[in-house]
Amino acid sequence: MYYLIILTILFLAELLYFRIADKYNIIDKPNQRSSHTRITLRGGGIIFSLGALAYFLTNHFEYPWFILGLTLISCISFVDDVHPVSQKTRLVFHFSAMALMFYQWGMFELPWYWLVVALIVCTGIINAYNFMDGINGITGGYSLIILLALAYINHYIITFVEPDFIYVVILAILVFDFFNFRKKAKCFAGDVGSISIAFIVLFLIGKLILATNDFSYIILLVVYGVDSVLTIIHRLMLHENIGLPHRKHMYQLMANELKMPHVVVSSLYMLVQGIVAAGYIWMHPLGYGYWYLLGAILILSIVYVIFMKKYFYLHKIG
């Protein structure tokens, strides 16, 4: 009954947001770098933060510093969706939010250099998640796979977080996917969605890594990671400004140049990450976690290079 009530509240909250977004013209207009062609409501991913907040308010105010950090990073991202915010302002909010998350993790008890490493890694992951949010279903679908894997690990392998937190966030993702994971999306996640769900995923994977002292659990982000890192390297080889928007990710070539339906591309990313995560969960007890991670990175990298060699010319002539 608890989950049904939360699901109903989140569904109604999303519908209410649509009315607000429509009234105040919070929309995403297609441009030459977009992978969509229709004007669509932006910021539907605000439901991720609302889901985490719903858990917080109904579970004895669990993880207060993380929730405060999530609120900060979600607010500045939503403002950025409505009206562009300077990069310095965004960084102040992002770093403040991550500091609060680190405090929730208990990382301030560790040597300072671990904080620096964590800040670099977390900043990279959040930006990668944001850059990968370009077609219908990819952010919600990929995040759903990660959350399901984390729920399994939390239930059957090691309890590193309150289970209800993962389940409530999954409900929020399902609500968003109902409106986004379709041929003609009702809404897009916006920065508020992609960045907030990245922050939530980071919090969970960070807690898991700290609880097990096993960094190989980062494999739960390996598909996004390989695509993002190799795309950056590719753009550097092309002497491009990596800070500017582009359409050179593998999923973008699939959707734009190969004309694959968005939901098919998103499902493919989900499937690959799901297979990788399932294999890792099976192999990890045998002590091969890091070798499996290395192998997954190598195989995915080879696939990426072969794909780009075969199809990137379509982007250059497009």
Cβ 225 vs Cβ 208: under 8 Å: no
d(CA 97, CA 69) in angstroms, rounded, equals 4
d(CA 185, CA 141) in angstroms, rounded, equals 13
- Confidence check: pLDDT of 242 > 90: no
d(CA 171, CA 151) in angstroms, rounded, equals 13
Tens-place pLDDT, residues 43-87: 999 999 999 999 999 999 999 999 999 999 999 999 999 998 999
Nearest-Å Rg of the Cα atoms of the chain is 19
Residue 30 confidence (pLDDT) = 63
- Confidence check: pLDDT of 135 > 90: yes
- Confidence check: pLDDT of 169 > 80: yes
Tokens for 192, please give them. Answer: 């508020």
d(CA 298, CA 278) in angstroms, rounded, equals 17
What is the band of 285 on the pLDDT scale with cuts at 50, 70, 90? confident
3-state secondary structure of 28: strand
Residue 207 confidence (pLDDT) = 97
Phi, psi of 60 (to 5 degrees): 60, 35
User: b vs e for 211-225, b when ≥16 Cβ sit within 10 Å of the residue's Cβ?
Assistant: ebeeebbbbbbbbbb
d(CA 317, CA 175) in angstroms, rounded, equals 39
Structural domain boundaries, residue 66: 2-317
Tens-place pLDDT, residues 30-50: 655 555 556 789 999 999 999
Cα dihedral sign, 141-243-222-193: negative
Split into its structural domains, the chain has a count of 1
Instruction: Please choose, from the candidates 91, 3, 17, 95, the residue with its C-alpha nearest in 3D space to the C-alpha of residue 50.
Output: 17
d(CA 302, CA 279) in angstroms, rounded, equals 19
146-155, 233-242, 260-269: segment of lowest average pLDDT: 233-242
State the pairing for strand pair 27-28/40-41: antiparallel
